[in-house]
């Protein structure tokens, strides 16, 4: 019996340290935190850059953006929406400004951001004014940075 008790205690201690290690790795992650159990959102990707300096040089003309570092590459996103029609509207806006973009999807679980995005999407759906669209996009990106990235 004592032989099994010692083995059990060792397994418990190792399990505790491994779980602590994996959880702290996730908390230190500096990219976009996504999960398979969230809601699908459309991210409008501007580009992929090999360094932070290259990212900063190529995004000078953009009013606002968020980026995700993954596999030593920086992915820049210039719009986020729940609706595919709105994603296409954002792509068209940036196309008219001379930017090539593409639509990517991610599952996001942050409830506060998802709730705020519903309101932004309603307003975005109801307008075709490029100035209003640009303003809404900037507000969404600021909200995403505030709630998801910093929060």
pLDDT in tens, 26-47: 555 555 555 546 789 999 999 9
Say if residue 8 is in the same domain as residue 75: no
Maximum separation of any 2 CA atoms in the chain, in Å = 76
* CA neighbor of 74 nearest in space, from 53, 98, 43, 103: 53
Helices then strands, counting H and E runs in the chain, come out as 5, 4
Question: What pairs with residue 79 in β-bridges?
Answer: 44
Say if residue 117 is in the same domain as residue 45: yes
Say if residue 26 is in the same domain as residue 43: no
Domain of 105 in residue numbering reads as 39-149
The pLDDT tens digits for 124-143 are: 999 999 899 999 999 999 99
Say if residue 55 is in the same domain as residue 128: yes
Q: Residue 45 maps to which CATH number?
A: 3.30.70.1070
Say if residue 133 is in the same domain as residue 63: yes
Say if residue 112 is in the same domain as residue 129: yes
d(CA 26, CA 22): 6
Say if residue 52 is in the same domain as residue 96: yes
Say if residue 6 is in the same domain as residue 63: no
Residue 131 tokens read as 């100035």
Q: Is a pLDDT exceeding 70 seen at residue 9?
A: yes
Is the C-alpha dihedral spanning 121, 125, 126, 128 positive or negative?
positive
Q: Residues 75-92: what's their mean pLDDT?
A: 94
Residue 19 tokens read as 């779980």
Say if residue 69 is in the same domain as residue 141: yes
d(CA 3, CA 138): 63
d(CA 101, CA 77): 9
Q: What is the total count of domains within the chain? A: 2
> 79-83, 90-94, 108-112 — which is least confidently predicted?
108-112
């Amino acid at each position: 019996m004592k032989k099994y008790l010692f083995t059990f205690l060792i397994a418990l201690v190792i399990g505790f340290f491994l779980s602590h290690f994996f959880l702290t790795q996730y908390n230190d992650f500096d990219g976009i935190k996504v999960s398979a159990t969230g809601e699908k959102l459309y991210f409008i990707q501007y580009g992929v850059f090999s360094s932070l300096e290259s990212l900063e040089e190529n995004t000078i003309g953009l009013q606002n953006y968020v980026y995700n570092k993954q596999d030593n590459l920086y992915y820049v996103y210039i719009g986020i929406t729940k609706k595919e029609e709105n994603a296409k509207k954002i792509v068209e806006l940036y196309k008219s400004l001379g930017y090539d973009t593409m639509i990517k999807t991610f599952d996001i679980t942050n409830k506060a951001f998802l709730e705020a995005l519903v309101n932004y999407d309603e307003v975005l759906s109801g307008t075709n004014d490029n100035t209003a669209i640009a303003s809404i996009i900037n507000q969404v990106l600021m909200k995403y940075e505030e709630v998801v990235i910093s929060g």
